[in-house]
Amino acid sequence: MPFAPFVGVNHHDQSILLGCGLVSTEDTSTFVWLFKFWLRCMSNRAPDGIITDQCKAMRNAIQIVFPNTNHRWCLWHIMKKVPEKLQGYTQYNVMKSQLKALVYDSNSIEEFEVGWNEFITNHGLLNNEWLCSLYEERHLWVLCCLRNKLSWNVYNITK
């Protein structure tokens, strides 16, 4: 059974386990059920932000149960997939280094956009489905795109 921890940040900026759930299936209705019960446990106070992996069912449930909550993807989960998704390329080590610098060191959205286009073009990645889908959702995971949406009251829910 997938394990869904609810991790928060306390007033000392430390991660704390707030609760957890076991789910039998990873579909939208199951996550809606889990989030509604979690909301009840939190005195019906929705989080300001939620960080998750890229689960579509969880994303749908967050939109239903927490419509005013900022949802973003866990950058660690995304970067963990880089070897799996790009290792077959001959310039893998260079690509990995450039992607990491692009994601972590871009100071503005414009800088990221220019760097992304150069990265994709220089490495012939225009048809890489994983990178194309990530780019379409960049507002959920690229640090410079999230700067104005960062919040103290955040739950991290991953499986």
Domain boundaries, given as residue ranges, for the chain? 3-74+151-157, 76-140
In this prediction, residue 149 carries a pLDDT of 58
How many C-beta neighbours within 10 Å does residue 135 have? 15
Are 75 and 141 contacting, i.e. CB atoms less than 8 angstroms apart? yes
Are 159 and 26 contacting, i.e. CB atoms less than 8 angstroms apart? yes
Q: Tokens standing for 89?
A: 């390329």
Q: Considering the entire predicted model, what is its pTM?
A: 0.81
N residues, the chain: 159
Distance between CA 87 and CA 82 in Å, rounded?
7
Please list the rounded mean pLDDT of every run of 10 residues in the chain (159 residues). 87 89 93 95 91 94 96 94 94 95 94 97 95 95 79 50
In this prediction, residue 158 carries a pLDDT of 55
Are 35 and 66 contacting, i.e. CB atoms less than 8 angstroms apart? yes
